[in-house]
Each structure stands twice: as C-alpha cells, then as structure tokens.
C-alpha cells in the first residue's frame, strides 16, 4: 500500500485546510497519516501487520470455535465472539496509545506496578472463583480479570528497568541478578500455586532472557539455570495435576478416555485437517470433542479447518514476530528498550511454543493461551499492550534508510542515513570505530 | 564493585560482549546501548528453531498421518451400542405364556448435552412431569461419564416416545432407548415361587460368565426357573453400529449383529391347575385362621402352607403352591430395598414346598409300614388291640416318655395294618417302633430310616430348582452326631426305645419338605421307582426346534412286593373311602366326584408342635388308586387336624382334576409359538 506523505503545501496552510469541508476519503487519509505508517521503522510496521493479522484471524477462529462452549455458558452461540471482538477493539485502542507514548514513560512506575501486580496475585487466592480446577481470576463485575497475564508484562517492564538502571550505575553481578531472580521467584511461586505452571515458567524465562542479554556471566547463569531446572522438575512432580499430564504425554496411545482424551481429540482434529483443512467453520471436533476449543486448543481447530497451510502460516507469523522482536532488541537505542523488547519477545515466543507444543502432544497441557488468537479478554488486551510496547520501542529506532519507503535504498541514501543515525544517537561520545572494537549496535548495517 | 562486574567474565571468546558492557559503564545509559547481541540472536534463533520443529510435527500429524486421524474422526461419528437379547419365554405345559417380555422406553440425556442448552432441562422436564432441576440432577449421575447418556425417565409412555421422535431437533442429545422387562400375563403372583424373579446382573455374576453375551445392564434370573434355566433363557446380546451427528443424535444404523433371543423353557406346570391350587391354599389358610379348633378351642395360626401336585409316573411337577406368596411385578424395573426387606421378613420369598421343613406326623406311617412289612416284622392281617395308650415294656419310668397316648383317647380298638392306617392308630405304630428297637439284632438299629432313605426322605429330592432343603429322619446316629457337634443344644446322645417309638409315627426330630413327602407317596404310587421331580419339561429354541427334552429321571427304588404294597394301599384307600377313615368325612363333604370316577388313596397327618401351638396339618394322596396319575399333597403349618385343614384342599384339587384331566405336554413349534393366556378359571 503506497502511503504517501501529505503534500507539503497542505501542512503549511492549516487555515485553508480548516475551511475545506472534510471529505471522508480525506479524513481517512489524514487518520492514516497521523499513524505515520510510512515514516515508521520497518520493524514497527512489521509488528503491527503481524499482530494485526494474528488478532483478526484469532477473532475469526474464536467465532468459529466458540459456538458450542458459548451455548453451554450463555445459551447463544455468538456471546464469546462478541466479547472477544469488544476486547480486540479495546486492546487495539490501548495498544495504539502505548505505541504512541514513549515506552520509557512507564519506567518510573515500574516498582509501583510490581507491587500492585503482586498484591493482585495474592488476592486471587482469596477472591477467585474456581474454574476448571484453577483459581486465576479476580471477578470485576462483568468480567473476570486474570492478574497473571498482567504479571508477565509488569515483570518484564520491572526487570528491564532494574537491569538497565543497574547497568547505568555501578553494576555487580549480584546486584543485577539477585533482585531480578527474587522477583521472578516470587511471581513464579504465586502463579504456580494458582495453579498455572505455564504462565509461571514464561515469567521466569522472560526474566532469564533479559538477564542473559544484560550480560549475566555464565558463572552465574549456569547454576541459576541448573537450579531453575531442578525447581521446575520439582514443581511438575509435586503437582499431581501436572504429573498426570506428564504421564499422559508419554502414554498417548492408551487410556485416552480417562486423561488423554483432550490430547487425543486435539491430535485427531489436527490430523484430520490434512494439508488444506476442511474449510472455515467445517470442523466437527469443536462440537464437544475438543475441550476448550476456543481457548487452549484453538490451534487444533485452526488445524482442522485450515489444515497444514493454516497452522504453518500461523507459526510463520509468530516466527516473523520473534524475528522482528529480536531485531528491535538489537536495534533499540537504549538498553531499557532492548531489554523490554527482548522480554516481550521471549514471552510471546515461549507462550506460542508451549501452547502449540501441548496441542500437538509434545508438551504437557498447561492451559496457556495462544497469543492474540485464543479467546480471553485479559490475555488478548495484555498481549496487545505488549505488542504496543514493542512498537513503541521499534519507533525509537533511529530512522535510517528504512524510513525511505518510496526510494530504493541507494548508496547515497544509505550513507546519509548512517551519518544521520550517528549524529542523532551519539552526540556526546564519538562512536568508537575500526580496530578490534565492535561498532555500537545502533549503527545501521551496511550489509543490507 | 565495578571491578567485580568487569572481572567476572574471563573467557577470551566473550571479548566482544565484555567490551559492550564496558561501553555501558563508560557512557550514560540511554546513550550507549549495551547488549550482548550474540546471546540475543541465539535466544531468537532457538525460539525460531523450536517453532520450526513444531512445523515438522504438524507435517507428521497433518500430512503423514492424515488418513488414520480422518478415520478417528469417522469413529467419532459412529457409535457401537450393545443390543440386549430378548430373554426367553417361560411357557406351561399347554403352551401358554407364564413369563413373557414387554418393551418399555427410557429417556436418556448426557450431562454435556444437558448443560449445552440451558432451557433443554426445563422443556424435557415439562414433557416428563419432572422439575428442571431434577432433570439436571439425573443427568449428573456419577455412574456415567459426562458425555455418556444417563437415564432421566424409565418406562415412559408411547405418547412421549412419539413426541420426542417427532421433535428430535427440539431436544438435542435426548435419546429414547427401549428395554425389555419381564411381563407376567397371568398376574405376578401365579407360580411366583416356581418362576422366580430377575434382577440386574452384578459384577460377580458378570465376571463368572464372560463371553456368553451378558451386558452390564443384563437381567439375570435370581430365583426359581429364571435362575435354574438362566443359560437357556439369557440369549446373547447383539451390536448396532449407529451413525450419530455431532450433537450425539442417532441419524442411522449402518450395520448390526442381531441379538440372539433366549430359548423358551416349557414347564410341566399347568397354569390353570396352578392358579386353582394357589387359590385353594390361600382360601383354606384364611378360613383356617378364622375357625376354632374344637379340641384346643384356639384359632390355628396357619403360618404357612404348601401344595404339591405331581405325576407319579414321571416325577413331573404339575403345580406347586406356597403360602405366603409374593408378586413378581415388584421386581419389574427394580425392587426397592424396603420392599425387599419386607418380603424377606414376611417369609413370602420362601418356597415352602421346597424349603419348608415340617414334622411329617402320621403321613410317615407309610414308611414305617413299608419297613415293617418288608422286614416281616408283623403279619399285616393280625390284629392288635389299641386301647389308647402304649407303655414301653420294662420301661423304668424314670425317663419321660415311657407311656405314649393315642390321639383318640379311647383308642381305635382291634386293628390290623390297613385299619391302623385307616383310623390312624398311633399305638399300632408305637408298637412297630418298639418291636424294631427291641429286636435290633435281627433288623439292625435303623431299619425304618433305611426305608425312609429309599423313599428319599433324608436328602434333597433333586428337583430342578436352585434352592431346596434337606429332609431328615431322626435316628440314633443323627442324635449322636448332633450331640458331638452342639453338646449344649443337644445334651443327650443316647437313643431310647421311646425315641424309636416316636420316630416310627413321624414325630421327634424327623422333618421333611412337602416336596420330599409328595415324592415318597409318588414312589409308592408308581410301584417303587423314585423319580427326581421335574419342573421343566423341555427347552425349545426360538426357531421352534427342541433343544432339550427332559426325560423322567429315576434316581432310586423302593422294593414294594405286593405283600407289602397291597395292605398299605388298602389302608390308604380306606382313609378316604372307608366310613371309619380319617378323611372320609372331609371327602364326603367336599368331593364333587364319585370314587368310581376317581378313587383317591391318601393319609392324613397331624404332627404335634410345641405346647400351645396347633399341630401341622397334612394330607398326602394319590389317585386313581390302582392306576395313579396324580399325587396331591397339602400341608398347613399350625393348621390343626390333617382331616380338617389339609384334606379339604386336596379334595378340592381332585375336584378340579376330575373335571379337567391334565393332558400331555404341548411343545411350542415354529408355527405354534407360546400363546398369551386366556383368563384363568
């Protein structure tokens, strides 16, 4: 879509502009222009497109998969779809806001947010209704909010802030690592006992990813990773619920009526979809055979209705998202932004991995939603907020040649962009060049 | 601190990363970014690689194994259901249905379907006259998995079934399944003791009989013929493969293995005779309870009673009545624990003809007389003077029971053996008991018991019914064995002359079942062959072919030379037909047939019970006396004199038999299946 910049003249003459009756086409163009898509770094645009595609496809799939559970809960087949649509609109609005505002605006409130998040996670144990054997929700009138979803975002923000702050001062491994691990451990514990092992481990892995790229030494990291592995194994073994799921994982051929039922049905749905699927809305197993077809197992509904084409397309979109996230992290001009981007990317990637792996029978079923696609208000809104933050970080990437959408990158524009970037991002200290020293990451790659 | 942070990474390979960290320290944080790009890319790369592995997995699921999973989906839409077999019919000897089957309909609904549509429970409840909450509670039956249909209503009307069939789309998931229940076209009480009830199979029974076509919901015989002939009646279940849509509603049947119906069991019982006999026994017991015994001046309690009608030529049981009785319909659809306990407590579940043990009294004189004549203890035509009492010679008088009284205080006067039977002279038989005991050296210690055993009175009769009590004749060896086993309850281990005297006329520790005594009289009637009584005559397959035809089963003999049989027969005929006979007046009063039409031979029995209780009333008989076709025996516990309580029943049974002779067994065939009964007369 060739989005043109508004003609210079119009910007210079606001009066005449105001006098003109605004035609819808013009208003649309103005709105689009205000989003400044054209002037946006490619990473930001990429995230918007990928997340947009996933969210819209997700809404369609929720509409397809949720008819039976919706009838079971509300007596009509469209209730979940309408709710999800509402959450999508709300989430996009919030995400747009988050993307527009500079991401470090939230930084001073990181500790406050952490406190609120911890409190809400504790409150869950006292307030939550028990749904499907778990207590994960705080009832707020018309909706149940899931604090563990917010916790992922807040922990990532806080740890990014913490590590970035430490690195800016006089960091020691201990000062950086121990508070981050403390926070990770506290959140893991609270979420694990809801129980929600999937989300709990996503929190821990996101923190570890930030620490890793924050320069944690292997002397610290390896013992931590080892201890984490032990804790993880213990967590699985001490939870009968997870133990049964693990046992099912290794016994997929048998007793499917007792415990492996959902996995068996999920694989059947995927398998019967074949390469091209049965077509949207043509799935049969979502009618009571697959449990939670609109939440945890929506991927198997995608598989049945869109086949391998659909499932691989969704996976590819997530891979692109991860790639974009990594790219944003490497290019972000500030450490905080980079950590934020990395934490969010790890979280979204890992959540996708866990959900899809459990749906295909590679991993015990933990009840983790597929980002942007599964039904769930809190999950969708928080995922979109995270995507907004990612866009916000991406927008901070200095515009190099990537901003020139119309012009093919020539040697001249590339050179100009490079020098631009240098001027803008490192005015105080000249960037070290040449020799064995590696150039700062903000320098646009010449090999593009 | 700075040193510390700097020092920790040491490896040369980490050089670049370390330098970028150094940048962080050297420059303001927001200006110089510090990231370890390598690690970052590794993490991203690993994540993408793992997602790529999932792609491979999806390839294997969706492309390589697509066929098998598509098959699994098809398996989801077909459902194999077991179809219960029709239980076999039980027919009587006239090819009339005694026990049949009736279809009834159950409405089922799974919990998943019940919760899928919140108004469904209310709508279904309105149709079935149940509150919506009750429907939901029934669907929540923990015996069924949430997606398995649970029974909501049993035995619904055909109108409801039709309505549900016509409005299937309004009731998603609601299914109607048909079941077969036992039906008793003659009413649930006719022959209930013979037929027995059916109940749902229990886990143990299911485990004991694998691979015979039982389902967990199968009905199995729990008593009577239903239990004894279970292997023929059960049939074998079949299978239906149903096509169901995603809501679980059946849309078609693709293939089925037809269930195999059970075989028809044909009984020797005659339904009309059975009905008549039950009615007579019932009426007599009620009448008995209302009457006053002229000697004791009390109302007989008449606690229980039984009537046996047999064919002495084959052992075929023509009718078998027991009082109190029960209604088999109580079991249809399951009996409540309360009702079952009440029935159990009332004793109605006992078949008194087979498991009631009664002191035989004077009816036992048949055995004593046979023993005395076979052993030539006395001459049947020599007279003995019955003066009303018998004192054991040389009895010291220290033990109780040196002197025995005749029932008639004045005595029956000069009697020979036939007259002693006709007038029921106890003294005559006291003398036999005494003589046998005093001449042990010649006749052995248990000569009467030996003959009793030959008549089948100290064992089971071998009837084809699941439960039967052991009859027993009192003897020195039994007394000794009981004393050794239970020294407190049986303090005496010695057998005195007085005991032998009592035993000889059917008192003391001797107890027999009505069936055993009837079979003993049948053995005498047919000239000495003891047959096992048979309730079933044949088993006929549904196609009309005969699976089994039960032949008379001879299981013993009693030597009855005419020197033995004739005097006894003369006595038994005289009981009914001689004006001095104990049952003469009764038959004169009740019999509607002439002796020329049907010459009845029989023996009354009045077996003393404990003090204050009326005696057990017996009458054992057979007819026609010289060519016996029927043995009829009646007993009423605590019913009074044999002639006053039991004999009228027998006389009335002969009234029926004289008017409606029993014909031979008619087996059902392909063209003539068992028919529904006409109203009983």
Token code pair at residue A11? 């910007």
**Residue from the list A287, A330, A349 with its beta carbon closest to the beta carbon of B47:** A349
Beta carbons of A167 and B8 less than 8 Å apart: no
pLDDT at position B14, please?
39
Beta carbons of B40 and A213 less than 8 Å apart: yes
Angle at A439 (CA atoms; ends A433, A442), nearest 5 degrees: 125
How far is residue B338 from each of residues A307, B316, B667, measured CA to CA in Å? Answer: 60, 36, 40
Work out the minimum CA distance from B39 to partner chain A, whole angstroms.
Answer: 6
A 10 A CB-CB count for A411 gives 7
Nearest C-alpha neighbor of B522 from the set B598, B616, B383, B629? B629
Q: How far, in Å, CA of B618 to CA of B643, rounded?
A: 8
pLDDT at position B250, please?
62
B144: phi then psi, degrees, rounded to nearest 5: -115, 145
Confidence band for A445, pLDDT divided at 50, 70 and 90 = very low
Confidence band for A257, pLDDT divided at 50, 70 and 90 = very low
The helix or strand, by DSSP H or E, that contains position B554, with its residue range, turns out to be strand B554-557
B618: phi then psi, degrees, rounded to nearest 5: -120, 150
B160-190 confidence digits (pLDDT tens): 888 887 777 778 778 887 777 888 988 888 9
3-state secondary structure of B549: strand
Residues of A within 8 A of B55 (CB-CB) are 312, 315
Beta carbons of B40 and A356 less than 8 Å apart: no
**Burial grade of B639 (CB within 10 A; 0-12, 13-18, 19 or more):** buried
B607-623 confidence digits (pLDDT tens): 887 777 888 899 999 98
A306 to chain B: closest CA residue: B62
- Rounded-to-5 percentages of helix, strand, coil across chain B: 40, 20, 40
pLDDT at position A6, please?
47
Does residue B32 register a pLDDT over 60? no
Token code pair at residue B171? 């009731």
Residue B397 C-alpha from the chain's centroid: 50
Beta carbons of B48 and A322 less than 8 Å apart: yes
pLDDT at position B422, please?
92
Does residue B602 register a pLDDT over 90? yes
Substitution target from A176, A252, A288, A315 for chain B, most B beta carbons within 10 A: A288
pLDDT at position A239, please?
64
Work out the minimum CA distance from B170 to partner chain A, whole angstroms.
Answer: 14
3-state secondary structure of B533: coil
Which residues lie across from B107 on neighbouring strands?
Answer: B153, B176
Work out the minimum CA distance from A14 to partner chain B, whole angstroms.
Answer: 36
pLDDT at position B681, please?
63
pLDDT at position A8, please?
47
Does residue A246 register a pLDDT over 90? no
Beta carbons of A170 and B5 less than 8 Å apart: yes
Q: How far, in Å, CA of B87 to CA of B85, rounded?
A: 6
Q: Is the peptide bond before B624 cis (omega within 30 degrees of 0)?
A: yes
Instruction: State percent of chain B over pLDDT 70.
Output: 89
Select, from the ranges A163-167, B315-319, B323-327, B485-489, the one with the highest average predicted confidence (pLDDT).
Answer: B315-319
Does residue A44 register a pLDDT over 70? yes
B551-561 confidence digits (pLDDT tens): 999 999 999 99
Confidence band for B77, pLDDT divided at 50, 70 and 90 = low
Which residues have C-beta within 8 Å of that of residue A141, sequence separation ≥ 6? Answer: none
Average pLDDT over residues A184-208: 90
B1-10 confidence digits (pLDDT tens): 333 443 344 3
**Residue from the list B32, B36, B48 with its beta carbon closest to the beta carbon of A215:** B36
Work out the minimum CA distance from B20 to partner chain A, whole angstroms.
Answer: 8
Work out the minimum CA distance from A89 to partner chain B, whole angstroms.
Answer: 29
pTM of the model: 0.58
Which residues have C-beta within 8 Å of that of residue B6, sequence separation ≥ 6? Answer: B18, B21, B22, B25
**Residue from the list B5, B44, B115 with its beta carbon closest to the beta carbon of A323:** B44
| Domain boundary assignment for chain A | 42-415
Confidence band for B154, pLDDT divided at 50, 70 and 90 = confident
How far is residue B670 from each of residues A257, B620, B673, measured CA to CA in Å? Answer: 46, 40, 6
Token code pair at residue A9? 């003249």
Does residue A20 register a pLDDT over 80? no
Beta carbons of A72 and B73 less than 8 Å apart: no
pLDDT at position B155, please?
79
Angle at B408 (CA atoms; ends B402, B409), nearest 5 degrees: 60
Question: How many beta-carbon pairs under 8 angstroms link A with B?
Answer: 214
Residues of A within 8 A of B73 (CB-CB) are 268-269, 272, 284-285
Select, from the ranges A150-164, A413-427, B15-29, B493-507, the one with the highest average predicted confidence (pLDDT).
Answer: A150-164
Beta carbons of A274 and B20 less than 8 Å apart: no
Beta carbons of A257 and B145 less than 8 Å apart: yes
Token code pair at residue A317? 């979109």
**Residue with more model confidence, B473 or B1:** B473
pLDDT at position A448, please?
35
Work out the minimum CA distance from A103 to partner chain B, whole angstroms.
Answer: 13
Does residue A193 register a pLDDT over 60? yes
Average pLDDT over residues B41-65: 87
Q: How far, in Å, CA of A308 to CA of A273, rounded?
A: 7
Work out the minimum CA distance from B173 to partner chain A, whole angstroms.
Answer: 12
How far is residue A194 from each of residues B80, B142, B398, measured CA to CA in Å? Answer: 40, 27, 91
Q: Measured on CA atoms in the order A387, A392, A398, A401, is the torsion positive or negative?
A: positive
Does residue B405 register a pLDDT over 90? no
**Burial grade of B132 (CB within 10 A; 0-12, 13-18, 19 or more):** middle
Residues of A within 8 A of B66 (CB-CB) are 271-275
Beta carbons of A308 and B47 less than 8 Å apart: no
The DSSP string of A286-334 is TTTTSSSTTTTTHHHHHHHHHHHHHHHHHHHHHHHHHHHHHHHHHH-SS
Beta carbons of B61 and A330 less than 8 Å apart: no
A324 to chain B: closest CA residue: B44
Residues B608, B588 contacting (CB under 8 angstroms)? no
The bridge status of strand B264-267 relative to strand B90-91 is: parallel
Q: How far, in Å, CA of A202 to CA of A212, rounded?
A: 15
A109-122 confidence digits (pLDDT tens): 999 999 999 999 99
Average pLDDT, chain B: 84
> Using only C-alpha atoms, what is the Rg of chain B?
39
Residues of B within 8 A of A349 (CB-CB) are 44, 47, 51
Does residue B225 register a pLDDT over 90? yes
Average pLDDT, chain A: 79
Does residue A436 register a pLDDT over 70? no
Q: Which residue has the tokens 């001062």?
A: A169
Work out the minimum CA distance from A399 to partner chain B, whole angstroms.
Answer: 16
Work out the minimum CA distance from B243 to partner chain A, whole angstroms.
Answer: 14
Substitution target from A50, A165, A217 for chain B, most B beta carbons within 10 A: A217
Which residues have C-beta within 8 Å of that of residue A422, sequence separation ≥ 6? Answer: A431, A443
Nearest C-alpha neighbor of A342 from the set B21, B36, B25, B53? B36
Beta carbons of B54 and A332 less than 8 Å apart: no
A201-242 confidence digits (pLDDT tens): 899 999 999 998 888 888 888 898 888 888 878 877 776 566
pLDDT at position B566, please?
94
Token code pair at residue A345? 């990317």
Average pLDDT over residues A379-387: 95
Nearest C-alpha neighbor of A392 from the set A317, A337, A314, A330? A337
Average pLDDT over residues B444-460: 91
A286-334 confidence digits (pLDDT tens): 776 777 888 889 999 999 999 999 999 999 999 999 999 999 998 888 8
Does residue B124 register a pLDDT over 60? yes
Residues B220, B230 contacting (CB under 8 angstroms)? yes
How far is residue A250 from each of residues A244, A263, B52, B62, B371, measured CA to CA in Å? Answer: 10, 12, 22, 20, 81
Average pLDDT over residues B221-227: 92
Beta carbons of B47 and A330 less than 8 Å apart: no
Token code pair at residue A120? 């809400």
Q: How far, in Å, CA of A315 to CA of B473, rounded?
A: 91
Beta carbons of A71 and B33 less than 8 Å apart: no
B30 to chain A: closest CA residue: A334
How far is residue A357 from each of residues A237, A324, A342, A370, A375, measured CA to CA in Å? Answer: 20, 22, 22, 11, 18
């Amino acid at each position: 879509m060739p989005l043109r910049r508004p003609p210079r003249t119009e910007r210079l003459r606001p009066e005449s502009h105001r006098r003109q009756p605004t035609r819808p086409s013009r208003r649309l163009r103005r709105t689009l222009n205000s989003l400044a898509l054209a002037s946006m770094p490619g990473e930001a645009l990429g995230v918007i497109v990928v997340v947009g595609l996933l969210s819209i496809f997700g809404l369609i799939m929720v509409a397809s998969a949720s008819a039976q559970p919706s009838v079971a809960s509300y007596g009509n087949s469209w209730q979940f779809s309408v709710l999800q649509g509402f959450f999508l609109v709300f989430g996009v609005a919030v995400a747009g806001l988050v993307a527009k505002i500079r991401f470090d605006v939230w930084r001073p409130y990181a500790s406050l947010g952490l406190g609120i998040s911890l409190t809400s996670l504790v409150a869950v144990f006292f307030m939550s209704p028990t749904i499907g054997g778990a207590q994960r929700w705080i009832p707020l009138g018309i909706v149940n909010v899931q604090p563990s979803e917010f916790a992922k975002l807040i922990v990532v923000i806080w740890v990014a802030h913490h590590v970035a702050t430490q690195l800016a001062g006089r960091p020691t491994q201990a000062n950086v690592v121990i508070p981050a691990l403390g926070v990770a451990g506290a959140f893991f514990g609270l979420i694990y006992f809801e129980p929600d092992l999937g989300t709990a481990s996503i929190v821990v892995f996101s923190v570890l990813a930030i620490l890793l790229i924050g320069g944690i030494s292997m002397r610290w990291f390896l013992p931590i990773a080892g201890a984490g592995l032990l804790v993880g194994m213990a967590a699985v073994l001490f939870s009968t619920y997870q133990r049964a799921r693990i046992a099912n994982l290794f016994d997929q051929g048998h007793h499917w009526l007792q415990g492996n039922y959902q996995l068996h049905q999920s694989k059947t749905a995927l398998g019967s979809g074949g390469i091209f699927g049965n077509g949207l809305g043509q799935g049969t197993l979502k009618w009571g055979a697959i449990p939670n077809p609109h939440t945890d197992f929506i991927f198997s509904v995608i598989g049945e209705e869109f086949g391998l084409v659909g499932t691989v397309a969704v996976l590819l979109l997530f891979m692109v998202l991860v790639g974009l996230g990594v790219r944003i992290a490497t290019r972000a001009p500030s450490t905080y932004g980079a950590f934020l981007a990395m934490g969010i990317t790890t979280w979204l990637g890992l959540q996708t991995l866990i959900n899809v792996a459990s749906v295909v029978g590679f991993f015990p079923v933990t009840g983790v939603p597929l980002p942007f696609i599964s039904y769930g208000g809190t999950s969708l809104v928080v995922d979109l907020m995270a995507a907004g933050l990612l866009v916000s970080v991406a927008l901070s990437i200095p515009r190099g040649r990537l901003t020139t959408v119309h012009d093919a990158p020539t040697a001249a524009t590339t050179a100009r962009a490079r020098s631009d970037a240098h001027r803008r991002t490192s005015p105080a200290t000249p960037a070290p060049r040449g020799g064995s020293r590696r150039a700062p990451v903000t320098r646009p790659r010449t090999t593009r | 601190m700075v040193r510390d942070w700097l020092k920790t990474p040491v490896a040369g390979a980490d050089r670049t990363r370390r330098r970028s960290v150094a940048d962080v320290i050297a420059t303001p944080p927001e200006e110089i970014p510090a990231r370890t790009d390598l690690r970052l890319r590794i993490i991203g790369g690993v994540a993408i690689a793992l997602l790529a592995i999932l792609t491979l997995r999806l390839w294997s699921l969706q492309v390589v194994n697509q066929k098998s999973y598509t098959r699994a989906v098809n398996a989801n839409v077909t459902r194999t259901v077991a179809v219960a077999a029709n239980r076999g019919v039980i027919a009587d000897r006239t090819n009339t249905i005694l026990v049949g089957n009736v279809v009834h309909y159950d409405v089922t609904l799974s919990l998943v379907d019940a919760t899928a549509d919140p108004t469904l429970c209310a709508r279904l409840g309105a149709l079935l006259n149940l509150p919506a909450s009750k429907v939901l509670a029934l669907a929540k039956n923990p015996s069924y998995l949430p997606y398995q249909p649970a029974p909501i209503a049993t035995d619904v009307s055909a109108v409801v079934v039709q309505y549900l069939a016509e409005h299937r789309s309004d009731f998603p998931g609601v299914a109607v399944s048909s079941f077969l229940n036992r039906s008793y076209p003659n009413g649930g009480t006719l022959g209930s003791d013979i037929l027995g009830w059916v109940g749902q199979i229990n886990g143990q029974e299911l485990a004991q009989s694998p691979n015979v076509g039982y389902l967990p919901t199968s009905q199995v015989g729990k008593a009577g013929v239903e239990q004894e002939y279970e292997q023929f009646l059960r049939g074998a279940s079949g299978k239906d493969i149903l096509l169901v849509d995603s809501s679980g509603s059946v849309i078609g049947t693709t293939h089925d293995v037809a269930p195999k119906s059970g075989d028809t069991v044909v009984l020797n019982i005659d339904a009309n005779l059975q009905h008549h006999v039950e009615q007579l026994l019932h009426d007599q017991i009620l009448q008995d309870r209302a009457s006053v015994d002229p000697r004791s001046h009390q109302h007989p309690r008449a606690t229980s009673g039984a009537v046996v009608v047999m064919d002495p030529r084959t052992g075929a049981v023509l009718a078998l009545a027991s009082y109190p009785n029960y209604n088999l319909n109580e079991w249809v659809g399951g009996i409540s624990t309360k009702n079952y306990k009440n029935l159990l407590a009332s004793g109605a579940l006992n078949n008194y003809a087979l498991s009631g043990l009664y002191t035989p009294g004077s009816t036992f004189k048949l055995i004593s007389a046979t023993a005395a004549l076979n052993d030539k203890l006395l001459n049947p035509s020599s007279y003995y003077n019955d003066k009303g009492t018998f004192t054991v010679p040389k009895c010291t008088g220290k033990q109780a029971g040196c002197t025995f009284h005749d029932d008639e205080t004045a005595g029956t006067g000069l009697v020979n053996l036939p007259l002693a039977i006709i007038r029921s002279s106890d003294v005559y038989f006291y003398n036999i008991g005494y003589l046998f005991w005093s001449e042990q050296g010649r006749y052995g210690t248990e000569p009467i018991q030996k003959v009793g055993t030959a008549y089948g009175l100290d064992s089971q009769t071998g009837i084809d019914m699941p439960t039967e009590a052991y009859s027993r004749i009192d003897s020195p060896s039994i007394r000794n064995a009981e004393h050794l086993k239970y020294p407190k309850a049986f303090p005496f281990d010695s057998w005195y002359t007085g005991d032998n005297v009592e035993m000889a006329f059917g008192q003391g520790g001797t107890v027999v079942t009505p069936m055993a005594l009837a079979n003993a009289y049948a053995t005498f009637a047919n000239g000495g062959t003891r047959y096992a009584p048979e309730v079933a005559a044949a088993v006929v397959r549904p196609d009309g072919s005969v699976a089994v035809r039960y032949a008379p089963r001879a299981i013993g003999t009693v030597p009855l030379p005419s020197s033995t049989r004739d005097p006894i027969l003369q006595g038994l005929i005289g009981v009914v037909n001689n004006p001095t006979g104990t049952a003469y007046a009764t038959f004169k009063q009740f019999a509607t047939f002439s002796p020329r039409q049907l010459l009845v031979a029989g023996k009354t029995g009045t077996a003393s019970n404990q003090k204050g209780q009326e005696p057990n009333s017996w009458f054992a008989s057979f007819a026609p006396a010289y060519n016996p076709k029927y043995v009829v025996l009646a007993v009423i516990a605590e019913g009074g004199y044999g002639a006053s309580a039991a004999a009228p029943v027998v006389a009335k049974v002969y009234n029926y038999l004289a008017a409606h002779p029993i014909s031979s067994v008619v087996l059902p065939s392909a063209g003539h299946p068992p028919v529904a009964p006409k109203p009983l007369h």
